[in-house]
A and B are shown apart, each in its own frame.
Chain A
């Protein structure tokens, strides 16, 4: 009869291995996503400086609305967002949608300066957003399939976490235990320490990850109910989430309303809020309504309160404070925790580090798997061939991906600015580089491949700030905040992280090299030590 712990150990081993590489990819790209806005900024070095918002907010909004009316006359929806925290554009951001005289849809997406002129156009790039989106879209496959794979992998991850906790015999006795230079024991200790220390984060991120794509598991039900065609998803979301059809324009034109009194009313309703975002439906038409939103709160709850007015008379239609309800609230809080948008600079570092440690947990688990199998081989040639294959692929999958991500940033700086499909080629560069390193790992001995690929990653990340200095003015020499100047902490932060990551990989490469160098001669005198000690 198998004990619970044995069966859990079996489950942990196989669920972990089966989705290990996909989960590793999700953790690495997802962690990068905690710096999506910063990476976006880094990848658009030409973007104009952020504009200041203070007493001028009403004027900024009115200028932007006038500009939107020029771009899309008779729009059905216009929204204007003022720059606020890191997750928003550093300029005034305008989205306008409508239809032209022929009935075709028209869209405008503008980034404006104070006077309503366009912020300098940046190079075409996939940016930090695309890197972050990789962790559930996988880029080359249809969106629904990507979500399904991500959701499925997350379920296995959750199973691996729970079975891992049960399998771990001495969770408290070994809480602080990390023994170096003890071969397989070191791998197990590292795997345990990383997992236990970041356990709250890993449980949160996996469980909320499952919930974020949970509808993907209901696809068969949707298809049975609605059939499978182009607008299935749209029908479902309108029926499920009650998205109302837009009101048609009446054709009776009105003058644009003065925003200042509306803002005054907004301030009376919400004295502690600051106007940050407006949404106008059918601007310039008698049916038009306008919503004034406050800033998104600083806490975990990512919501803004709003006041809705008619655009003709400025009469208040609706006042909505910032509230979260019951089950909806549980879902929302988990989503917010997953995305970490509320995190300030220090908490953001902790989210990023915890995410990377999740990747480390999976990587050490994968290596540990091969180490354990190697012990049990006993001369089975076929099993050994398979094992060697996995040992080799581990190198390319784990270290190679990191080189690929560095290559993504190289492509951003080095591909010609006017190039056709430039944004796509940045992503192709990532995957092609990764492929090259996977192939490399297949033809090298794993011990050698580890050293080479870890060194390559370290070198690639270490050179990124240098490349940045060679190709732009926004390098560490100009961006580091020093006494007497503000610098640009967003740009400097990205460069500094590249250096920290490079140092981490250089350390890993050194450990791998030292292991290989003194692995053989040390073995004979290593065995007696634990015997003497324990």
Chain B
């Protein structure tokens, strides 16, 4: 359970960080996002990763928590990278974003 929460925070965290970068926005959304949106994703990414670390430290104590969060970060970021490489369009789900409708021109 504690593990699940750590991953559910870290995965969107790394997805958010990656989606704040132009080259990944291109492969996931097909173009650049507005600067404000990029900033939001970056801010969201860092906060979620920090939340994941704090959560593991809360759940396991600080020493074991730090070890656990290293492992969680490793596996989460690998998931995001494999997503960006193999199924870029699906990476938005990792940040809990819905797939846009076909007529949606906003992104």
A-side interface residues toward B, CB under 8 Å?
173, 175-180, 193, 197-198, 200-201, 299-300, 337, 342, 346-347, 350-351, 353-354, 357
Contacts and interface: CB of A to CB of B under 8 A. Distances in A.
A510 B77 CA distance: 24
30 contacts: A175-B18, A175-B77, A176-B14, A176-B21, A176-B24, A176-B77, A176-B84, A178-B81, A178-B84, A180-B85, A193-B78, A197-B74, A197-B78, A197-B81, A198-B74, A200-B70, A200-B74, A201-B70, A201-B71, A299-B61, A299-B64, A300-B63, A342-B64, A347-B68, A347-B71, A350-B68, A350-B72, A350-B75, A353-B74, A357-B74
A510 to B, nearest CB: 14
Contacts of B3: 346
A176 B74 contact: no
Given A178-B81, A178-B82, A299-B64, 4 more contacts: A197-B77, A201-B70, A300-B63, A347-B67
Contacts of A198: 74
Contacts of B74: 197-198, 200-201, 350, 353-354, 357
Nearest to A301: B63
A179 B77 contact: no
Interface of B: 3, 14, 17-18, 21, 23-24, 61, 63-64, 67-68, 70-75, 77-78, 80-82, 84-86
Contacts of A201: 70-71, 74
A165 B34 CA distance: 32
Contact of A353 (B14, B64, B75): B75
Nearest to B86: A180
Nearest to B83: A176
Q: Which of A176, A201, A342, A346 has the most CB of B within 10 A?
A: A176
Q: Which of A299, A342, A350, A351 has the most CB of B within 10 A?
A: A350
A173 B22 CA distance: 10
Contact of A300 (B64, B70, B71, B73): B64
Contact of A299 (B17, B63, B72): B63
B44 to A, nearest CB: 15
A163 to B, nearest CB: 22
Nearest to A350: B71
A492 B65 CA distance: 28
A300 B77 contact: no
Nearest to B60: A299
A1 to B, nearest CB: 33
Nearest to B14: A176
Contacts of B73: 200
Contacts of A175: 17-18, 77
Closest 7 CB pairs of A and B: A350-B71, A176-B18, A200-B70, A178-B85, A346-B3, A197-B74, A197-B77
B18 to A, nearest CB: 4
A178 to B, nearest CB: 5
A177 B68 contact: no
Contacts of A179: 85
B75 to A, nearest CB: 6
Contacts of B21: 173, 176
Contacts of A200: 70, 73-74
Contacts of B80: 176
Contacts of B84: 176, 178
Contacts of B75: 350, 353
Q: Which of A175, A179, A193, A201 has the most CB of B within 10 A?
A: A175
A346 B85 CA distance: 26
A498 B98 CA distance: 37
A176 B81 contact: yes
Contacts of A178: 81-82, 84-85
Contacts of B18: 175-176
B45 to A, nearest CB: 11
Nearest to A348: B71
B21 to A, nearest CB: 7
A198 to B, nearest CB: 5
B77 A337 contact: no
A482 B64 CA distance: 31
A357 B74 CA distance: 10
Nearest to A337: B67
A478 B71 CA distance: 31
Nearest to B21: A176
Contacts of A173: 21
Nearest to A186: B85
A179 B86 CA distance: 9
A180 B21 CA distance: 19
A178 B88 CA distance: 11
B81 A300 contact: no
Contacts of B78: 193, 197
Contacts of A180: 85-86
Contacts of B17: 175-176
A177 B75 CA distance: 15
Nearest to B77: A197
B27 to A, nearest CB: 10
Contact of B81 (A193, A346, A347, A353): A193
Nearest to B19: A176
Nearest to B23: A177
A176 B94 CA distance: 14
B29 to A, nearest CB: 15
A200 B75 CA distance: 12
B49 to A, nearest CB: 12
A337 B63 CA distance: 11
B76 to A, nearest CB: 9
A171 to B, nearest CB: 13
B62 to A, nearest CB: 10
A351 B71 contact: yes
A354 B67 contact: no
A193 B67 CA distance: 20
Nearest to A196: B77
Nearest to B18: A176
